[in-house]
Amino acid sequence: MNSLNKPMLGSIALLVLFLAGWQWGPGLLGMPEFVLPKLSRVAEEGVAMWRNADLLEHTAITTLEIIIGFGLGALLGVAIGVALGLSPTTEAMLSPYILALQIAPKVAFAPLFVMWLGYTVYPKILIAVLIVFFPVMINVLSAIRTVDPDMINLVRAMSASRWQIFRLVEFPSAMAALFSGLRIASTLAVIGVTVGELVGGNKGLGFLLVDSEGQGNTAGVFVAIVMLTLIGVLAYSAVVWAEKRVLHYLPKANLSTV
């Protein structure tokens, strides 16, 4: 119990030190408020934005975009990762185009999506899908390719069909790698949606960030950043929780290194 509490106590202590430094550091360093407002000023601005700037509504919109973009990107990544993993020919044919799509900067697509789809939620979701897709696809593809051949031969010797081999051996073996990709993707989804809202949004936390920046409201910018960070932490925690529920049969040491 004590060994488990020490890291938690250490994390809490670091958080307290960080918040204390944020509260009193700017004053001690003589920083003006428009450069780095103290923590209490950011909290006051957060309350004001909650009451007057529909902070809850903008947060809900951004959260919804992140959930949808993450879900669609993960499903697409799993589907294509499995398809390429099971078919080397298909991988050889499609991998140059998938690589080119990954290399292309996602920010460059944001104005294009806004031109096509307007100031709606769809451009933000599409950017999130593009960013989430690649880490999930790569992890699933690598896991499918590295399945123990002896396990496959054993199941095949028991007259298993191709679908049974995939369902009983290949896909379960890829689950740990899948969740590793989902951990990365959960944070990237927040980045993708935020980029879309920064480029062409009239709602969401990215829009609030740009709006506050245009008004010279540094505290408002920090409020938007804090809310985006909280969403990212919750998304990552949700993936970790799901991973522990699904992969409960794996040793804890394996989960911690995934």
pLDDT bracket for residue 23 (50, 70, 90)? confident
pLDDT digits over 156-198, tens only?
A: 778 777 777 787 787 888 888 889 999 999 999 999 999 888 8
pTM of the full structure: 0.85
Task: Give residue 182's pLDDT.
Answer: 93
List the structure tokens of 62: 């951004």
The reported pLDDT for the residue numbered 198 is 87
> What confidence tens digit (pLDDT) does each residue in 58-107 have?
999 999 999 999 999 999 999 999 888 888 888 888 888 888 877 888 77
pLDDT in tens, 115-127: 888 888 888 999 9
State percent of the chain over pLDDT 90: 28
CA–CA separation, 3 vs 11, rounded Å? 13
What's the pLDDT score for residue 1? 47
Quick one: pLDDT band at residue 231, thresholds 50, 70, 90? Answer: very high
DSSP the chain: -HHHHHHHHHHHHHHHHHHHHHHHHHHHHT--TTT---HHHHHHHHHHHHHHS-HHHHHHHHHHHHHHHHHHHHHHHHHHHHHHHH-HHHHHHHHHHHHHHHHS-HHHHHHHHHHHH-SSSHHHHHHHHHHHHHHHHHHHHHHHHTS-HHHHHHHHHTT--HHHHIIIIIHHHHHHHHHHHHHHHHHHHHHHHHHHHHHH-SSSHHHHHHHHHHTT-HHHHHHHHHHHHHHHHHHHHHHHHHHHHHTTTS-HHHHHH-
Rounded to whole angstroms, the maximal C-alpha distance in the chain is: 75
Query: What CATH architecture is 38-257?
Result: Orthogonal Bundle (1.10)
- The average confidence (pLDDT) of the chain is 84
Torsion, CA 68, CA 74, CA 75, CA 78, rounded to 10: 180
Residue type, 220: G
pLDDT over 90 at 199, yes or no:
no
Using only C-alpha atoms, what is the Rg of the chain? 22
- Is the per-residue pLDDT at 258 higher than 50? no
- Identify the pLDDT of residue 151: 78
CB 227 within 8 A of CB 56: no
